[in-house]
Amino acid sequence: MNSRTTNVVSHVVDVDGVPVSALLCEARDPRAVVVALHGGAVTSSYFDYPDQPRLSLLRTAAALDFTVVAIDRPGYGSSAPHAESMASPTRRVDLAYGAVDRLLAARPRGAGLFLWAHSIGCDLGVRMAGDERRNDLLGLEIAGTGRHHAPGAVEILDFRRRDPAVPRRPGPGLRDLLWEPSRLYPDDVIGAARIQSPGPRYESTVARRWPLAFAELAARVRTPVHYTLGDHERVWSSGPEALADIASLFTASPRVVTDEQADGGHNLSIGRTATGYHLKILSFVEECVLGYENDGIDHLPRRAG
């Protein structure tokens, strides 16, 4: 393990006239680059919560020789003023990859890119993983998502009746879905007050269509896939049958691994078990790197720009 101090640095890059903000934590000689995609109503700081360094995916991964790029997804952070131009899924994929390539520029990439997505960010993650224009992808982790909502969740989320132009106020029902049992999270993390952000309007459409779109998008993914749900997930149906159902969607993937995170709620990367969760997925990333090294797969050049 790399024992040197890991620094998380904020960046803003221009992608076709759109400023995209991100957090970057570099390993000196990375095994690979992890691209982290946050969920709804929060920023990229979900993966590096303020004053909670032990929960940080960026710091943990960099200490294990993986560089991490956590972008503010299209419509968040610096790109928020341009959100109305991001209704097209292809546009969002292009912006995300454009930001990653500009951020890495001459920086080493190791074996390639591993995509790591949470909650509604999985729409972007699965689309990016299925993009046939890329041949530098090692694998995909998706968490906090599914195809069938847990009992009672639909009424609380209320996608069909909600006006996407009206900001969603987290009432007690939504808070319970996302943050209960509260014992699973540090006290100052519950509600994620320090990293909250208004979500772009297009996310209402993404959320409404996701259960049907998931299968079509998953079938395009040709890399290894890891899927994680917390054993206390309340937004999506969980348990062995739900895990097997999602695994069955990735028909073109050479390997699909599912896992139920013990003592995990919806927000796995900022819960008390975040370090254990991150270490398990980073082990999967390492396996993907070894698979690349053993198979001698041709990737894009390690330096872009």
pLDDT(162) > 70: no
162-171, 224-233, 237-246: which has the minimum mean pLDDT?
162-171
3 state SS of 3: coil
Q: Of 89, 119, 115, give the one whose Cα is nearest residue 226.
A: 115
Q: Specify whether the CB–CB gap between 46 and 269 falls below 8 A.
A: yes
pLDDT in tens, 251-286: 999 999 999 999 999 999 999 999 999 999 999 999
pLDDT in tens, 82-136: 999 999 999 999 999 999 999 999 999 999 999 999 999 999 999 999 999 999 9
pLDDT in tens, 45-90: 999 999 999 999 999 999 999 999 999 999 999 999 999 999 999 9
pLDDT(143) > 90: yes
Q: Which residues contact 95 (CB under 8 A, 6 or more apart)?
A: 15, 16, 18, 20, 74, 79, 86
Average pLDDT taken over every residue of the chain: 91
pLDDT(170) > 90: no
Q: Specify whether the CB–CB gap between 147 and 249 falls below 8 A.
A: yes
State the amino acid at position 154 in one-letter form: V
d(CA 187, CA 292): 41
pLDDT of residue 151: 84
1-15, 20-34, 226-240, 259-273: which has the minimum mean pLDDT?
1-15
pLDDT of residue 305: 28
CATH number of 8-295: 3.40.50.1820
pLDDT band at 295 (very low <50, low <70, confident <90, very high): confident
d(CA 157, CA 13): 34
pLDDT(6) > 80: no
pLDDT(157) > 60: yes
pLDDT of residue 37: 98
